[in-house]
Amino acid sequence: MYFRGANTEKKVALTFDDGPDAKYTGQILDILKRYHVPATFFVIGNQVPYYPEVIKRMVNEGHIVAGHSWSHPNLSKLSDAQVRQEIIKTNQAVKSVTGKNMAMIRPPYGAIKGKEKVINQMGISIVQWSIDTLDWKSGRTSQQVEQTVLQNLSPGSIILKHSGGGNRSTTVQALPGIIESLKQKGYQFVTVNELLEIPAYRE
C-alpha cells in the first residue's frame, strides 16, 4: 500500500477520484491539457459505461486510469468475494473501452483494512494519498483547497482531488492555481505509477 512517493526529487502526482462524469471531469481534462500536466484518475466502474468518451480522452491525452471500485462501497465491510467483484467489474468496464487492464486501485474512503491481501493477490497495487484537499466539502473555497496543498506539500506528495460524484466546481476553480504555484516552486507533475515506480496496467 502506497501513501506517497520517494522524497528525493521534486515530483508530485495529481489524482482525481469519483469520475467520470458529464460536467467536471471534462473541465479538469481541459485544464490539464492547457498546462501539459499528466494526472491519474481513479474511476468508478458503474460510471464508465455512461461516459466512455471521457475515459478514452483520459488515455489519449496521456493520463492514467485506475480503479476506485464499481459502486463506491466501504471495501473493508465486504466479503473477499465481493471485493474481487468490485475490482473485476470495474477493470472489465475500463478494458472494454481502452483495452487496458488496470493494476492500481484506490479504495473508497481509503477504507481497506483486512482486504489488502485479497487485492494484492489479484496483482493490484493499493494507492492512497498524502494530501487530502477536502475539495468535496461544501463551503470549501478554491483558495482553501490550494492552501491545503501548499501547506502540506513535499517531494513525493500524492494529492487527492475529485472529478465527479457531486459539485466539483471548487476543484475546477482551484486547479490552475495549484498547478501554477507548484510549477513556480520547481515541482514536476507525474502520474502515480511513475512516482511510485509501479505498473499502471497489466499485460
Catalytic residue set: 17, 162
CA distance to 84, 185, 200, per residue, from 196 (Å): 24, 21, 10
Q: What is the DSSP letter of 43?
A: E
3-class secondary-structure state, position 173 = helix
The answer to whether the beta carbons of residues 163 and 25 sit under 8 Å apart is yes
- With cell 491481501, the residue in question is 117
Distant-in-sequence, close-in-space partners of 9: CB < 8 Å, separation ≥ 6? 155, 156, 188
Cis peptide before 20 (omega within 30 of 0): yes
Exposed e or buried b per residue across 27-52, where buried means at least 16 C-beta atoms within 10 angstroms of its C-beta = bbbebbeeeebbbbbbbbbebbeebe
C-alpha cell belonging to residue 57: 480522452
The answer to whether the beta carbons of residues 165 and 193 sit under 8 Å apart is no
Amino acid type, 115: K
C-alpha cell belonging to residue 152: 502540506
